[in-house]
Amino acid sequence: MTDPTNLPQPFDAAFFKDPYSVYARLRAEKSVHHIALPDGSPIWLVTREADVRAGLHDLRLSVSKTHSRAGYKGFSLPPALDANLVNMEPSDHLRLRRLISKGFTPRHVEKLRGGVQETANQLADDLAKRLDTEGTADVVTGFANHLPITVIGDLLGVPEADRAPFADRVSQMVAPEHPSDVANAVDYLHRYLIDLVALRRARPDDNLLSALISVRDEGDRLSENELVSLAFILLMAGSENAQHLITSGLLTLLNHPDQLAAIRADWALLPSAVEELLRYAHPNHMAIRRFPVERIEIGGTSIPAGETVMLCLASANRDPDRYPNPDAFDILRQDVTSHLSLGQGLHYCLGASLARMEIGIALAVLLQRFPNIESVTPVDELPWRTSVRSRALKHLVVTSRP
C-alpha cells in the first residue's frame, strides 16, 4: 500500500477558499487521483463526469464498510446508527428503501406543500422583524436552519423543542470545529434517537417514524438498529443538505442579478433555477465513500479492492465535457436535470422531491417578501465551513431596503 504521507494533499487553505478551481486542475490532469484527505486518509478521487456517473451505478463499488481495508477512518458510529441506508449492501438497502419510500413519493410530498409554505411564511415574518429592529439579519440562523428541520421533524414526529439541538449536532458531526465535536455529537444523536423511538413507541402518532415502529413491532421486518438508524439518516439528510442549499442558492442568485431579474419577471423559471442551483451550488461535494469489492478500473486507473473511492459530484457538475461553460450560472441551461447532485442509481436521493419543493418555496418566499434583499458581506469575506465533503455558509447576513 502507498504510504499516505507521500500522497498529494490538494485540500489546503486555497481549496477551502475556492474548491472549484482545484477540481478543474485535477480534472484537466486526469480523472482519478490517489490523494490524502486532511486527516491523512488515502483516497481515490474521481473527478470527471462520465466516470463519476458510471461509478454511481457500478455495484462493484460498495457503500458497505465491510469491504473496506485499513486506511478508511470516517465516522465511528454505534450499531444503532450505523445500520442505515448509506452503509448497506443492495439487498438490505432495497428492503429498507421500500418500507419508507411511500413517505417520499411526489404525490405524498405534494400534500406537505401547504405546511412548508406556512412555515416559510412564519420564518419570513420573524426575519422581517429582525430586519426592522436591527437593520440586518442572518438568513442561515434566522431562516434556512429552521425550515428543513421543521419539515422533516413534522414528518417523523420529532418534538419541536428538540429540532434545533438535533440539527446543531448534525452540523458538528459533519463539519467539526474541534477534535471532540464528532464523538460528542454522535453520543448525543445516539442517545436522543433511542429515546425518540421509545417515545413514539409509547405514544404513536400519525407520522412516518410511528409507522416504521409499527412495521418493526408487528411484522419484524426491521431490526431495532435498522429502525433507529433509519430515523438518524432521514433526520440528518432531511435537514443538512436543504438548509445549506437555501443559503447558497440565495447567495448565488444575489451574485447573478441578471438571472435573478429573469426569475422576478417570470416565476415559472424558478423550477429550472432550482435545478441549476443543484448543479452549480449544491453543498454536498462528494457522494458517500465507496469500496471496490474487487480490483476495478476507473478512467484508465486501476484501483485495488477495499480501498476508499470518493466520487466528486461538484467536480462532475462543472465538467466542461458535459456542460458547456460549466462555471456559468444559467437558469436556462439545457438538460440541467441530468446533474448528479441528488445521486444516481440505487442511492438516488429518497427525498429529492421534498428537497426541490422546500428550496423552491424558500427562495420564492425570500425573494418575494424582500424584493431589495442583499448580502452585507463582501463575497471574498463570506464565512464558509471547512469540510472536504460539503461546502456551506456559516452565516449569510443580509439587509433589505424598504
**Does pLDDT of 220 surpass 60?**
no
Name every residue whose Cβ is closer than 8 Å to that of residue 24 and which is 6 or more positions away in sequence: 315, 318
Give the residue with greater pLDDT, 192 vs 3: 192
Q: Would you place residue 65 in the very low, low, confident or very high pLDDT band (cuts 50, 70, 90)?
A: confident
Give the residue with greater pLDDT, 194 vs 102: 194
Predicted local confidence at residue 26, as pLDDT? 97
Give the residue with greater pLDDT, 1 vs 349: 349
Helix axes 181-202 and 224-254, enclosed angle (nearest 10)? 120
Q: Would you place residue 3 in the very low, low, confident or very high pLDDT band (cuts 50, 70, 90)?
A: low
**Does pLDDT of 10 surpass 70?**
yes
What are the tens digits of pLDDT across the range 258-276? 999 999 999 999 999 999 9
**Does pLDDT of 328 surpass 60?**
yes
What's the per-residue H, E or C state across 307-319? CCEEEEHHHHCCC
Give the residue with greater pLDDT, 65 vs 311: 311
Nearest Cα neighbor of 151 from 349, 358, 350, 351 is 358
The CA distance from 290 to 67, in Å, is 9
**Does pLDDT of 2 surpass 60?**
no
Amino acid (one-letter) located at 69: R
Instruction: Tell me what the mean pLDDT of segment 97-118 comes to.
Output: 85
Supply the pTM of this predicted model.
Answer: 0.91
Predicted local confidence at residue 216, as pLDDT? 76
Predicted local confidence at residue 168, as pLDDT? 86
Name every residue whose Cβ is closer than 8 Å to that of residue 179 and which is 6 or more positions away in sequence: none
**Does pLDDT of 103 surpass 80?**
no
- Assigned C-alpha cell, 162: 428538540
Inter-residue contact 71 to 1 (CB < 8 Å):
yes
What are the tens digits of pLDDT across the range 336-350? 889 999 999 888 888
Residues in the chain: 402
Inter-residue contact 49 to 333 (CB < 8 Å):
no
Nearest Cα neighbor of 322 from 58, 55, 51 is 51
Predicted local confidence at residue 258, as pLDDT? 97
- Assigned C-alpha cell, 289: 465513500
> What domains are there in the chain, each with its CATH number?
4-400 (1.10.630.10)
